[in-house]
A and B are shown apart, each in its own frame.
Chain A
């Protein structure tokens, strides 16, 4: 399963979005789609658990978690480093 599909599954479960995750384009702004900062923390925690990664502090900013594409790219980067 590609990282993007896993990211979408986690967003569906923890993102508390106002819209269906299936209908979101990779670059849709998740904050505009209703993700609160509180929900974004739960998304981060679930991603860290699912991929067995730790987001370094410099990645903990809005721009990294603002879209499915940006989250997937951060996860790709961290999982590549881990291997």
Chain B
């Protein structure tokens, strides 16, 4: 199993870091100011064939595990937080297909042709009017008619939906299924319409372009991912989301603290022999950054170890309360520390960090990570953890 020191040197991470520095970082301010999709970054990732990093090698992808994907998302987020988030979400969708659809002719072909050969981008539609933010329940249901199926969904947020080549949609299995009896259905471009119903003028993560939308699609029954979303959610969507998000938030925080460090070094060079007054704050902030990185990396290594075997026992472990609690704790921890670190960076830098047009600006970073506690609300996660801890004994 790969370790963090090895991961930093891998082809996937190194090439993504180069794109982060040369492309994503250059356009990050414009993407943020105009609230537009980071086209340049994704064109570069596509050209470098980095959008298939999560596809198994058997299907032509890089076969990157969680630790490597986390490092890739963190590297990209250091250049542009929105780009890091879109890449993470794309990987989450690819992983759901790779881990639950492999071995079926449709999804095998989709991975090797659409993701590996054509480097397409997949968005997801998990939110819905009427479910109040609970991704594990749906109102809409897929209607299967022989070999065909259709689905309509009124979504509250669809991240980069208008810029994606496919949509992976949660819905109830049948019209008479319970709200929690869900499946995932993939729709390719040309099979659906997405009518924007809201706006995306937000504090941060503005480049993810995630307004509400009314989805309507028709396809073939084979595009329904095998198994239950209950399983693909617990075994794949939740771990990939919480680990990759935590990783990219650490990338954003690292860039903000990197700017603070550059600022402190500048002061030190002007006055060698005099410790800049804010240097100890930087030292303290780095304690939290290290803890944050080690938190997601440890979870990623646990996941890679479990999925290395990927047998029934490993999948059951991912469906255990112990694992669910670990994921909740990771998400809550990293989403709360990231804004704190950006706040610290701002205190260290001062007015040059507060201004939006200096090399030390950290406003975008701060605004971007404020989304972390809200995307899957920490309040909801805390109450789920609290409920589990009524029976989980950690013994």
Which positions 105-146 of chain B face chain A at CB distance < 8 Å? 136-137
Contact A62–B319 (Cβ < 8 Å): yes
Which positions 133-191 of chain B face chain A at CB distance < 8 Å? 136-137, 173, 177-181
Which positions 34-83 of chain A face chain B at CB distance < 8 Å? 34-38, 41, 44-45, 48, 54-58, 60-63
Tell me, yes or no, whether A21 is within 8 Å of chain B by CB: no
**B82 nearest CB across to chain A (Å):** 31
Contact A55–B387 (Cβ < 8 Å): no
Tell me, yes or no, whether B310 is within 8 Å of chain A by CB: no
A62 to B319 CA separation, bound complex (whole angstroms): 6
**B98 nearest CB across to chain A (Å):** 21
Contact A34–B392 (Cβ < 8 Å): no
How many interface residues does B have (CB within 8 Å)? 28
Q: Inside 8 A of A31's CB, which chain B residues have their CB? A: 180-181, 228, 230
Tell me, yes or no, whether B384 is within 8 Å of chain A by CB: yes
The 0/1 profile, CB within 8 Å of A marked 1, for residues 53-84 of chain B is 00000000000000000000000000000000
**A51 nearest CB across to chain B (Å):** 13
Main secondary structure of the interface of A (DSSP, over half): loop
Given A57-B395, A60-B321, A34–B179 Cβ distance below 8 Å? Answer: yes
Q: Inside 8 A of A44's CB, which chain B residues have their CB? A: 391
A38 to B385 CA separation, bound complex (whole angstroms): 10
Contact A61–B393 (Cβ < 8 Å): no
Interchain CB contact (< 8 A) of B181 among A32, A56, A61: A32
Contact B319–A34 (Cβ < 8 Å): no
Q: Inside 8 A of A35's CB, which chain B residues have their CB? A: 180
Q: Inside 8 A of A37's CB, which chain B residues have their CB? A: 136, 324, 384
Q: Inside 8 A of B30's CB, which chain A residues have their CB? A: none
Q: Inside 8 A of A33's CB, which chain B residues have their CB? A: 178, 181
Chain A positions within 8 Å of B, measured between CB atoms, are 17-19, 31-38, 41, 44-45, 48, 54-58, 60-63
**New A-B pairs, 15, CB < 8 Å, besides A34-B179, A38-B387:** A17-B178, A19-B178, A31-B230, A32-B177, A32-B230, A34-B181, A44-B391, A45-B390, A56-B393, A56-B395, A57-B320, A60-B392, A61-B317, A62-B230, A63-B316
Could you list some 12 contacts between A and B, CB below 8 A? A31-B180, A31-B228, A32-B181, A34-B179, A34-B180, A34-B181, A37-B324, A41-B387, A57-B321, A57-B393, A61-B320, A62-B320
